[in-house]
Amino acid sequence: MTINSNNRVVFQVTTFETGIFIKDFLKAKDISERALKKLRNNGKILCNGQAVTWRQVVSTGDEIILVYPAPTENPYLPPEPVPLKIIYEDRDIVIVNKQPGICVHPTKAHPTGTLANGLMDHWLKNNAQASFHAVNRIDRNTSGLVLIAKNSFSAQKLFLQKQQHLLSRSYLALVQGKVASRIARVDLPLVKCDGQTTKRQVAANGQRAVTCFEVLDYFRDCTLLRLNPETGRTHQIRVHLSHLGHPLVGDELYGGSTKRIGRHCLHASRLSFFHPRTGQAMMFESPLPADITQLVGLYFG
């Protein structure tokens, strides 16, 4: 399989796949029916260069081409020069090590100056044909790794990996107090707090939320944890830790002290997944940023 710069994905039919409908052939390539409907309505499905329907039967050696629509200008996502630390980029994906204080994408409270705006500017300056699809999102004041798909094909493949738990995320967190359990699994449902836009709380009638963690180190008055969320609810890690009596250092919203740092000490440190085009296993890591390591050295070491 290949994908080129003008949003075309090419598959070659093998002997073992001959005699089946194109729809079934593409589903076996993890192209969802929803994605195929969007492609049928806004793009093209070609067999050996000719437009075909889903009921076309494929034969050995056939070249099946998915032609995705070219990215269009998004008036709600104008290019803006935003400092970016890009640690990996190819035609399908980009990995950014996001600094705290900027949003991943525009919100009502922060409509500009986001990572998305910065990437649109980066692609415009480099004459790259790409669209913004955030595969994982982190809070404005959380630092660390963010995975972005640059085309619809890659986005669909990566979101499917999330559903199948093939895409894993790991965080580092500095929490208040000494966490007694060296290893734990927190399974506590979350709901939105009444009258709040984003704040969450533990409640029996909430959505299932599971966070696993292990203690990495103890410092004076705080603990360094590695966390692996099994679900991806809003503020999940922050609420779970606060509920356990160990809020993130700096997390004023959930009971953490802001005396020594102006943001919550949570860092998206590791991402692993399979490349949407090649299937290659990929893993990226980012160490604790300077503001958290300096905090540990000055006050908790």
**Candidates 3.10.290.10, 2.40.420.20, 2.40.50.140, 3.90.1150.10; CATH matching 2-67:** 3.10.290.10
Residue 230 has pLDDT above 90, yes or no: yes
| For the chain, domain boundaries | 2-67, 169-268+295-300
Q: What is the mean pLDDT of the chain?
A: 92
User: Residue 243's pLDDT band (boundaries 50, 70, 90)?
Assistant: very high
End-to-end CA distance of the chain: 51
Q: Mark out the alpha helices in 176-283 (DSSP H runs).
A: 236-243
Evaluate if residue 5 carries a pLDDT over 60.
Answer: no
pTM of the model: 0.89
Beta strands in 48-150 (DSSP E): 50-51, 63-67, 86-89, 93-98, 133-134, 143-149
Cα-Cα-Cα-Cα torsion 292, 293, 294, 300, nearest 10 degrees, comes to 90
Q: Which CATH number fits domain 169-268+295-300: 1.10.3720.10, 3.20.20.120, 3.30.2350.10, 3.30.465.10?
A: 3.30.2350.10
Among 55, 23, 49, 21, residue whose Cα is nearest residue 37: 23
Q: Give the pLDDT confidence of 95-147 residue by residue, as tens digits.
A: 999 999 999 999 888 999 999 999 999 999 998 889 999 999 999 999 999 99
Strands (E) across 36-85 are located at: 44-47, 50-51, 63-67
Averaged pLDDT, 244-249: 98
Is 17 a residue whose pLDDT tops 50?
yes
Cβ atoms of residues 8 and 65 within 8 Å? yes
- The residues annotated with a catalytic role in the active site are 139
Q: Residue 3 — pLDDT band, cuts 50, 70, 90?
A: very low
pLDDT in tens, 56-107: 899 999 999 998 887 777 888 999 999 999 999 999 999 999 999 999 999 8
pLDDT (mean) for 12-32? 91
Please give the pLDDT value at position 301. 66
**pLDDT the model gives residue 109:** 87
